[in-house]
Structure 1
C-alpha cells in the first residue's frame, strides 16, 4: 500500500525544533490497544506491558527454528551479493557488519517466521489492528569490540525522520545468541514510554548515513536522561538465545559495548498499525529510504 498524497497532520510530539529539550507526557496514545481475547498475551502480561513498556518471552523460538534463525544471521552477515548494499551497515573503523536491514525481504525463513501467531498475533493484539512491518533488521554485536547503542527512543527517530505520526508501533527483539549482563545486553528504563523527550538539533540531510553507525542527532540530553532514570530506574534484559522482548516504540533504551568474547546478536522487527500510516517527516526535509521506514507495505497475516 502506498500513500501518494502526504498531508501533514498535527504534531503531537514536536522534536528537533526547539532550542531547549522538553519532556512531553504521553496523554493521547494508548500503550495496549487490545485485550487478552485478542491474542497470545494474557491479562497480567498486558497489564505489565502497559506499566513497564515491555514484555519478555522466554523461548519464543527454539529447536530447529532457532538454529535456522542463527544460520540466516550468519548467511546475511557474509552474503557476497550484499557486500556493497546500502542495507548493510558497517562499523566506521573496523568495517565489521553492524546491521543488515530488510531481512524479511532477504530471507524466506524470516518472512515466514514473522507471520506466525506468536509474533504477528502479539503485534496485532498490542496495537489493536492489522499491522505491517515498518522495519526489520539483524544486529550483530561481535565479541572483542561490538560498539554501543546510545540511549534513545525509537519513536523519536521514526517520528522526526520517517513521519510516523503516533506511538502506535511496537518492536520485537529476538535474541539469536545468549544475552548476558556483560556482553552488551539491552537496557530499558521501565515506564519511560509514558514520557516523550523532545530533542534539540536540526536533522542533517541524509542523516541516516551517520546515525546508523553512531547516532548523535535525536539522542536525549543528559538532564532528561537523568530525570527518567531517577524516576523509573534501569532494567537490564538478559536471556538465552531464542528469548523475545516486546517493547513500546517510545521506551528509552540503549546498550553498552561488548568487550567480552561472546557476541550478542538479535533479530529486530518493528510492527506499525495500519491506522498509523506514515506522513511527511516531522523533523527532516525528506523521508529516509524504504528499508528504514516502509511506505510500500503489505499487511502481515
Structure 2
C-alpha cells in the first residue's frame, strides 16, 4: 500500500477568495499494469481524461439493468429513503445512491472482470467502491447537472486525498446530442479549479438536487471551454464512459421526449481511502461516500 500524506491539502478549495487554477500533480493512469485497455487506449485516456467503449453491455443486459432501475424507482419501501434523491420541482426520482446494496445484479456488475480489471488498470492498485448510483433524466422535464469536477466535491466534502479515482457511466438508454448527454472538457482533468465559498452544513441535502456550492465560476468555465473545448458522450444503450475524477463535466436539461438513464460506478484506489473532509464541517453520509469498508473488490 502506498502511503499518502493526508495532512497536506494539495488541492485547496472552498476558499474565501479566488485563486488561479492548480496544475494537477498526480497521473491519470497509474503504473503500467496489464489489463483490458491497450497501451494506446491508456495513453489516450491519460491525455483526454476519458474513454468511451461501445457495446459494453449486451442488449439483454441493458434490459436487465433497466428493469432494476424501474423496480427501484417504483419500490414503495424506498419512497422516503434518504438514498433516493428527487427533483426539486417535480418530485420525480433523480438519483438513487448505494445501488449495489439494493440490487444484486448491480452488485455483481461492479465485481465483473470487464469492469473491475479496467478500474484496477487505470488506478494501478486494488480498488473499492467510493460511490454508486443510478441517474434518471426523464423526457421533457429532466434537469441537468451544472459544470463541476467530482474530485472537488469528493476532496472537500468526503476527504478524498488525491484524484486517484475513476468513474464508469453505463448508458441504459440511447445518448443523443439532444437529450441531456454528458459533456466533458477533454484534458481539463490536468487542472484543478478551486471554488469560492464555505461549505454549508449538510450541503448534500440540496447539492444532489442542484449543485450550487463547489462549482467553478463562469470565468473559469469560459476559459476552460476555450482552452480544452467540449466533447459529448453519445452512443447507444450499453455503451460506457470511463472518466477521470477531476475532469470538468456537466449536462443540460432534457426537453426531448427521449429519457436518459445510466448506472454510475465510482472506483477509488485502496491507497486513497477517505480521511476527514478538507473543506466541510462533517463527512457526507455513508450512502453517498463509502468510508466504512475499503476492502478491495474481488
Measured against the shorter chain, the TM-score band is over 0.9
Alignment of 1:111-122 (within 5 A): 111-122=107-118
Of the three residues 264, 269, 275, the one matched with 2:265 is: 269
Offset from partner CA, 1:253-289 (integer Å, 9 cap, x none): 0000000000010000100000001011001011000
Of the three residues 181, 184, 200, the one matched with 1:185 is: 181
Q: Distance in 1 between matches of 2:271 and 2:222?
A: 34
Coordinate RMSD, CA, aligned: 1.1
Q: Distance in 2 between matches of 1:89 and 1:186?
A: 19
**What secondary structure, in the 3-state scheme, does the structure 1 residue paired with 2:105 have?**
helix
CA contact under 8 A between 1:9 and 1:279: conserved in structure 2? no
CA contact under 8 A between 1:60 and 1:242: conserved in structure 2? yes
Q: What is residue 12 of structure 2 aligned with on the other side?
A: 14
Aligned-pair CA distance for 1:8: 5.3
Q: Distance in 2 between matches of 1:182 and 1:110?
A: 28
Moved over 6 A (4+): none
Q: Distance in 1 between matches of 2:206 and 2:34?
A: 40
Aligned-pair CA distance for 1:20: 1.3
Q: What is residue 227 of structure 1 aligned with on the other side?
A: 223
Q: Distance in 2 between matches of 1:221 and 1:21?
A: 11
Offset from partner CA, 1:202-251 (integer Å, 9 cap, x none): 00000000100000000100111111111110001100000000000000
CA contact under 8 A between 2:65 and 2:106: conserved in structure 1? yes
Q: Distance in 2 between matches of 1:187 and 1:21?
A: 25
TM-score by length of 2: 0.96
**What secondary structure, in the 3-state scheme, does the structure 1 residue paired with 2:221 have?**
helix
Q: Distance in 2 between matches of 1:202 and 1:295?
A: 23
Q: What is residue 157 of structure 1 aligned with on the other side?
A: 153
Q: Distance in 2 between matches of 1:187 and 1:93?
A: 23
Offset from partner CA, 1:145-190 (integer Å, 9 cap, x none): 1001000000000000000000100000000000000000000000
CA contact under 8 A between 1:22 and 1:199: conserved in structure 2? no
Q: Distance in 1 between matches of 2:268 and 2:107?
A: 16
Q: What is residue 25 of structure 1 aligned with on the other side?
A: 23
Of the three residues 20, 31, 36, the one matched with 1:34 is: 31
Count of aligned positions: 293
**What secondary structure, in the 3-state scheme, does the structure 1 residue paired with 2:263 have?**
strand
Q: Distance in 2 between matches of 1:273 and 1:248?
A: 13
More deviation, 72-81/158-167: 72-81
TM-score by length of 1: 0.96
Offset from partner CA, 1:88-146 (integer Å, 9 cap, x none): 00001100000000011100000001111110110000000000000000000000110
Aligned-pair CA distance for 1:17: 2.1
